[in-house]
Amino acid sequence: MEPTAEIRRLFDIMPASGRIMTKILSKPQQAKVIDVSFPLPWNRERPIYINFDLWRRLPKQQRDLIILRTVCWLTGVRWFKPDIYQGVAVAGILGALVEFSQTDPVGVVVAGGLTTLAIYRITAINRSQQSELNADEAAINIAQRRGYSEVEAAQHLLSAIETVAKIEGRSALTFYELIRCQNLRAIAGLSSVGVPKEL
């Protein structure tokens, strides 16, 4: 597999937001098939690292769904959106600045603590199980615009999760992967048991 040609093909199937925000890089030394770092607010580009020696072992349909899912998760991480936690973080930062200008150490500590708590909560939401499931479902929706049916897309993504684990030499799936697989089985009609919303 020629990495440049495959990168070009992957960019073609991505949504427009993915083409703008992400960058695919070849990283042959990594043990994972595909890897990303948690995107921080000051990172304008969100790199996706692929080991193309391992990547080529996946069927094309599985590669399509994995890249769509990865892009959906990366673009789904939003630091700046109207939300109570973003509001608390902004209020905490402004409060800390005001207290600092008034040389009130207790006020600075309280406002700084409030900001830290809000940022921690934003990070936890973006790393949650629900964000993983949302990324899977968003990838399936985009795949439907690329010619896949909902059932086919769910089956390919399900197979991809299991195949990647085997390629990477892992004997078992992670807890999050098991939950994702159960949800994908329900979407694909392979199981009548889905994932409870309150999980």
pLDDT reported for residue 84: 59
Residues 6 or more apart in contact with residue 144 via CB below 8 angstroms = 150, 153
Distance from C-alpha of 25 to C-alpha of 121, rounded to nearest angstrom = 30
Q: Per the structure block, which two tokens stand in for 6?
A: 């495959």
- Lowest mean pLDDT, pick from 46-55, 94-103, 174-183: 94-103
Distance from C-alpha of 45 to C-alpha of 22, rounded to nearest angstrom = 6
- Lowest mean pLDDT, pick from 18-22, 70-74, 83-87, 135-139: 83-87
Mean residue pLDDT of the chain comes to 85
Neighbours of 84 (CB within 10 A): 9
The DSSP-derived string for 97-140 is HHHHHTT-HHHHHHHHHHHHHHHHHHHHHHTSHHHHHHHHHHHH
Q: Per the structure block, which two tokens stand in for 30?
A: 């990594």
Q: Is 82 exposed, middle or buried (0-12, 13-18, 19+ CB in 10 A)?
A: exposed
Look at residue 55 and tell me whether its pLDDT is greater than 80. Answer: yes
pTM of the model: 0.79
pLDDT reported for residue 69: 96
Look at residue 80 and tell me whether its pLDDT is greater than 70. Answer: no
Look at residue 134 and tell me whether its pLDDT is greater than 70. Answer: yes
pLDDT reported for residue 96: 66
- Lowest mean pLDDT, pick from 11-15, 107-111, 141-145: 107-111
pLDDT reported for residue 190: 82
Under a CB-based contact definition with an 8 Å cutoff, are residues 30 and 49 in contact?
A: yes
Give 78's DSSP letter.
-
Q: Per the structure block, which two tokens stand in for 128?
A: 């949650």
**Pairing outcome for strands 46-50 and 34-36:** antiparallel
* Mean pLDDT for the stretch of residues 123-137: 82
Give 146's DSSP letter.
T
Backbone angles phi, psi at 164, to 5 degrees: -60, -40
The pLDDT > 70 percentage for the chain reads 75
